[in-house]
Amino acid sequence: MFLKVSETAQYISDKIKNQKPAVAIILGSGLGELADEVENKIEINYTDIPNFHKTTVLGHAGRVVYGQINNVNVIVFQGRFHAYEGHPIEDVVLPIRVIAKLGCRDVIITNASGGINTDYSPGELVCITDHINMTGMNPLIGKNDEEDGPRFPDMTEAYSRSLLEIVNKAAEIEDIKLASGVYAGLLGPTYETPAEIKMLSVLGADLVGMSTVPEVIAANHIGLNVLAISCVTNMAAGISKEKLSHEDVKIVAHKAIKKFKTLILKTVELIGN
């Protein structure tokens, strides 16, 4: 893994002329348009990057975009890898480890999710404050390198309190409603059954999805500050009577993209300042 991370980070560093990103952003399903806001762009296709995979999920463009947002150096990952695609868990979190290797300390992770909390509605933005790992997987299983992080990393503040304060300030400035909640991460690729959603609700979950949790675990292991923003694209199974489809997820995410971009742009500006 050390060799893979080093090789991948060196390739990207060469492409971006050894510049150092201040903020990294991972974009979830239907949220890739944010990369259009990056100025002075340098684009790299995932298929050209050593040890990266081609994205197979609709709504994930599969590009790294480097440049500036509000004069802040950013590196944006348009799409992610999922364990349900058949990728080893260490490859799912490879971009996180590369982000750290590039010298970046703050990462914004985004996703599309199903709403369990009935106070939510489709198109709403939610700041993740904690998570429940229901994937049955952990990216830290195996030999631990103490240079990367401790054998047993603390997850009390998996989501940075200081970044939570910043994103809430950004939402206030831009007059954007921003809820907060606990995210349950499942393996997928099937959507959850109504019984599973009922169980997750009892456990304290407000949102459910098939990503983010492994990335957050890896990020905490190597000392990154994590902010996670979820776009509720549908109400979870059993909450509403509608059947779930990935196409609908993309449609709702697209409708929410304007306020999503506004929120992230202001947040990046505040982090950079």
Examine the residue annotation and report whether 246 is marked as an active-site residue of this protein.
yes
pTM of the model: 0.94
Examine the residue annotation and report whether 180 is marked as an active-site residue of this protein.
no
pLDDT: is 244 or 153 the higher one?
153
* C-alpha torsion sign, points 231, 233, 237, 240: positive
**Domains within the chain, CATH numbers bracketed:** 2-272 (3.40.50.1580)
Tens digit of each residue's pLDDT (9 = 90 or more) over 222-237: 999 999 999 998 888 8
Catalytic residue among 113, 160, 201, 211: 211
Tens digit of each residue's pLDDT (9 = 90 or more) over 84-131: 989 999 999 999 999 999 999 999 999 999 999 999 999 999 999 999
Examine the residue annotation and report whether 160 is marked as an active-site residue of this protein.
no
Examine the residue annotation and report whether 254 is marked as an active-site residue of this protein.
no
Q: What is the DSSP letter of 114?
A: E
Q: Which amino acid is at 122?
A: P
Q: Per residue in 1-25, is it b (16+ CB within 10 Å) or e — as a string?
A: beebbeebbebbbebbeebebbbbb
Q: Is 165 exposed, middle or buried (0-12, 13-18, 19+ CB in 10 A)?
A: exposed
Catalytic residue among 13, 43, 53, 84: 84
Examine the residue annotation and report whether 210 is marked as an active-site residue of this protein.
yes
Examine the residue annotation and report whether 201 is marked as an active-site residue of this protein.
no
Catalytic residue among 22, 24, 112, 237: 112
Strand 178-185 versus strand 225-235 pairing type: unpaired
Q: Which amino acid is at 183?
A: Y
Tens digit of each residue's pLDDT (9 = 90 or more) over 18-67: 999 999 999 987 788 899 999 999 999 999 999 998 776 655 578 999 99
**Rounded CA separation 55/263 (Å):** 26
